[in-house]
Amino acid sequence: MSSSNSGDIKVFLLTLEKNSYPMSACNEDDITKLKNLSPTQKLPLTYVEFMSKAGNGIHFLKGTHYTMKVISELKEWAVELLDENNFSRKLTNNQFVFMMHQGYMFWYFNLDEGDNPPVYHYDECIDNLTEFRKVSDTLSEFLMSWYD
């Protein structure tokens, strides 16, 4: 499946849905709350589509924090992690932390990089890390890789 545009995540999620893959959708109120987390900049369409179908849980992300239950706290947790590790780089208002795993690594995208933005990563276990690492050219590719 090609991952070059934001429609790919929609096709991917519809396929999972048709195969009765375990996932819990967001309701309209959840999506409104999600969009209000970034009141000055629009969230990428790929991200909103993913959260609309799986924002309250999806089996392949079990154990990883990304759901509506914690989404408003992820950036704060990421900032604390960077501070605890004296990491020289800081997160900006343009960066949206959308996922964290067990409190020692997180992923974000830049809000100004389109509807299917690249994904960046921080992991406190990587020695001598001085920059955030780009781990995927697109958000849809990143999310689908977790399923694979």
CATH number at residue 125: 3.40.1580.10
> Does 96 fall in a domain?
yes
Give the number of other CB atoms < 10 A from CB of residue 125.
7
> Does 12 fall in a domain?
yes
Strand duo 119-123 + 133-136: pairing: antiparallel
Please tell me the distance from the alpha carbon of residue 140 to that of residue 27, in angstroms, as a whole number.
21
Q: Are 103 and 93 in contact (CB under 8 A)?
A: no
> Does 141 fall in a domain?
yes
pLDDT at 5: 56
pLDDT at 8: 87
pLDDT in tens, the chain (148 residues): 333 455 689 899 999 989 999 999 999 999 999 999 888 899 999 999 999 999 999 999 988 999 999 999 999 999 999 999 999 999 999 999 999 999 999 999 999 999 999 999 999 999 888 999 999 999 999 999 998 7
pLDDT at 113: 97
Tally of domains within the chain:
1
pLDDT at 2: 37
| Strand ranges for 17-114 from DSSP E | 64-65, 95-101, 105-110
pLDDT at 7: 62
pLDDT at 128: 85
**85: domain range?**
7-147
> Does 29 fall in a domain?
yes
> Does 137 fall in a domain?
yes
> Does 2 fall in a domain?
no
> Does 1 fall in a domain?
no
Task: Spell 8-41 as b/e; 16+ CB within 10 A means b.
Answer: bbbebbeebeeeeeebebbeeebbeebeeeeeee
> Does 136 fall in a domain?
yes
